Structure 1
Amino acid sequence: MDEPADAKPKRTRFSPPTLQEVTVYCIERQNGITPQDFVDYYAARGWKLNNGVAMKDWRAAVRTWESRRRDDRRETAGPAEGGDDYVA
């Protein structure tokens, strides 16, 4: 019996990436993330997200780390404290 055309493909079960897979992905994206930190962080948490939900896509998690890294850089790139003071 054929499946209906609108049937969703079954999602494969999540398997944690190897350090090498994360390294290759981070190099491809040139994101500056340390792959070992990423793997260690999620391995220590059982590959669960902050809200306790099991991870489904580690590549999406890497992209989230990229986004947060960019946001952190923007916040710390403000003007130096006291830089506008005039000293006579």
Structure 2
Amino acid sequence: MIEVADQGCGVPEALREKIFEQGVSTRSDEPGEHGIGLYLIASYVGRCGGTITLEDNDPCGTLFSLFIPKVKKNNDGTINPINR
């Protein structure tokens, strides 16, 4: 589990479902200049079979939680979870 928190303005409720899509940003000053970072992270985490969530970071900001499962790649290319 990896958690990243900030104390900025947070992610508005209306953007939470879309914030991991390419081009979506909380910044509206320069269209096309923002909205790639969270998209890339969510893509990488998804490819690994993991999850990424966000929630409010009291008193302000956002808390992102990433979970990437520990796995073992077999000789035949299949992947098995490692349970410890």
Flag the structure with larger Rg.
1
TM norm structure 2: 0.29
TM norm structure 1: 0.28
User: Which protein has greater RCO, CA pairs closer than 8 Å, 6+ apart?
Assistant: 2
More strand by share: 2
More helix by share: 1
